[in-house]
């Protein structure tokens, strides 16, 4: 019974979330600004690392150019993580705390992803496509799952 409830709530939240993300209004007022902020933060990190990079909207330009598109902004991974947390049993205060910490963590991994992809493009451009489509997509998915597993362990320990 618990597994069936988890699956139903998880699927409901994922379907609703993806429907909301697909609306033009959401894209224009939430997704696009979020993606631009991700580019700005990634550009700051690259500058701290000594790269002469500028940002223009969702594009990072310097010795290599990276454009952060929908699907690469970490929002889908955050949505799946949110669905897993909301579908899991637990107190609401732990869920809210888990949602915030998990979102920040997943986005931190995503900033690392963008920075690493830029650096890969600069120093090993022949590795860029594999790094983008295999290594970092897998890393973001595993980060989302890992944050959920960590949250479940903490929430279960606190509930006991």
pLDDT tens-digit series, residues 21-43:
999 999 999 999 999 999 999 99
| Residue 159: per-residue pLDDT | 67
Alpha helices in 23-89 (DSSP H): 24-26, 32-48, 75-87
Residue 160 has a pLDDT of 60
Contact in structure between 113 and 134 (CB atoms under 8 Å): no
Domain borders along the chain are: 2-159
Structure-model confidence comparison of residues 1 and 15, the more confident one: 15
Radius of gyration of the chain (CA): 17
């Amino acid at each position: 019974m618990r597994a069936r409830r988890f699956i139903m709530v998880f699927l409901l939240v994922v379907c609703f979330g993806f429907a909301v993300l697909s609306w033009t209004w959401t894209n224009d007022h939430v997704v696009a600004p979020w993606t631009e902020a991700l580019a700005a933060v990634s550009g700051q990190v690259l500058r701290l690392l000594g790269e002469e990079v500028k940002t223009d909207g969702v594009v990072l330009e310097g010795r290599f150019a990276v454009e952060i598109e929908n699907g690469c902004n970490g929002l889908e991974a955050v949505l799946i993580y949110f669905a897993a947390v909301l579908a899991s049993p637990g107190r609401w205060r732990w869920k809210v705390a888990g949602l915030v910490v998990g979102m920040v963590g997943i986005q931190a991994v995503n900033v690392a992803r963008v920075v690493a992809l830029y650096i890969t493009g600069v120093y090993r451009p022949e590795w860029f496509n594999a790094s983008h489509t295999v290594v970092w997509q897998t890393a973001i998915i595993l980060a989302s799952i890992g944050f959920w597993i960590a949250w479940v362990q903490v929430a279960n320990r606190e509930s006991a």
